[in-house]
Structure 1
Amino acid sequence: ASFANILASRGYNLIITGRRKEKIQKLANELSKKYNIKIDVIIAELSNEKDIKDIVKYISKTKNIDTLINNAGYSIYKNFSDSAVAENENMISVHILAVIKIINAVLPKMIRQGYGNIINVSSLGANIFANDAPIPLVAPVIIAILFNLFS
């Protein structure tokens, strides 16, 4: 919400995604009214392949995208060794695969435009070493490596 508020206050039109419809719609309504901007809302669960495809499809129909902020994430708050494979697959989907797929959809558009910004938000946990590191701690490293390959 902080990023959306800052960008809205500067006159940016926004596309906001989130999984909690009421919360996202409320934010969109408040910012749209306060700053007189256009805000589109996409309700999506980033561990769901269909929802990611819906976001990518929407991006493909959008004329220009100035800035992409990847700010989704969650943690399961237990040691990696105590977590189920399905939990880790969901975290990989949200922290890594969704980010890559959305960047892949936005980047060609930004290159064609001749401008654009991509901001990948992490947590402080990404800077803390853990002997039994769960996915959120390694995901920013993987994203940084992949992003640097394409820079």
Structure 2
Amino acid sequence: MAHQKGTALITGASSGIGAIYADRLAKRGYDLVLVARSAEKLAAAATRLSLATGRKVEAIPADLGKSADLARIEDRLRQDTSITVLVNNAGFGSAAPLLSADVDEMEAMIDLNVTALTRLAYAAAPGFAARGEGTIINISSIVAIYPEVLNGVYGASKAYVLALSHSLQHELGDKGVRVQAVLPGATETNFWAVAGVPREHLPNEMVMPAEDMVDAALAGLDTGERVTIPALPDGGEWDRWEAARLAMSPRLSASAPAVRYRQRETV
């Protein structure tokens, strides 16, 4: 049996990426709290994982788009000191263009992808910092840096996740809290059915099996990566991107507009 490492709370854990994180973290020695909407799927997953790994696995049915359900999970994160890992995975996407997208659906996407993720991170972070250990894994997407593909609100929600992760890393890194943003590309899950893009329309060479994606993300976590892009062959590309962003930061605020924007006389 693997060594006990505390408890991992995983959202969106009944299928896809969340279910694979549950499997991998249980095998690494974590007990689990699984959160998702489907009570039946969660119960089956909890039983299967407990039998396979010997870990304690608890299933909590909850719709994180509903404030009362979200509050229950926040309370659990605040009160349960055994929780050492939060995997913020719950979310959904869309491929609908702006002019044909349902704005109410876009608001629901923001509620789950942004608001719920933020509130759960805020619920977990103080306890992690006080205990000097803990890990927050936020599932973003490559659309965080490539928003021209898929739906704009979806891309914006995942850009928020990346920005929040940067801020959490900055504030919590010296307090023993690890924060990782994971930016998957196209992944073999039911995401595409929900987003309205038939999976068969995507070239096989660009779609990664979900198991491989999660294994790569955990490998990135093990090596201390703050941002993991599982499909990116050269990690130096991301390092250079980040270096350019940080190098520019001292010049982003000034008491006067840059010379190139000042009014000039025209003939």
Tell me the TM-score normalised to structure 1 length: 0.90
Could you tell me how far 1:117 is from its partner in structure 2?
0.9
Q: Which residue does the alignment assign to 1:23? A: 41
Among 1, 7, 11, the alignment partner of 2:29 is 11
Structure 1: tracts of 5 or more residues without a match: none
Q: Which residue does the alignment assign to 1:121? A: 139
Among 138, 149, 154, the alignment partner of 1:136 is 154
Cα-to-partner distance string for 1:74-132 (whole Å, 9 max, x where unaligned): 12331122122211110001110000000000000100110111111123444433278
- Give the superposed CA RMSD: 1.8
User: How many matched pairs?
Assistant: 151
Contact 2:147 2:156 in 1 (8 A): no
Tell me the TM-score normalised to structure 2 length: 0.53
User: What is the 5 A alignment of 1:1-150?
Assistant: 1-130=19-148, 133-150=151-168
Task: Name which structure has the greater RCO, CA cutoff 8 Å, separation 6+.
Answer: 1
> How far apart, in 2, do the equivalents of 1:113 and 1:132 lie?
40
> Where do 4+ consecutive residues of structure 1 move more than 4 Å?
none
> How far apart, in 2, do the equivalents of 1:145 and 1:10 lie?
29
Instruction: Report percent identity of matched pairs.
Output: 28
Contact 1:65 1:109 in 2 (8 A): no
Letter in 2 for 1:106: A
- Mean CA deviation greater in 1-10 or 64-73: 64-73
Whichever structure has more helix as a proportion of its residues is: 1
Structure 2: tracts of 5 or more residues without a match: 1-18, 171-267
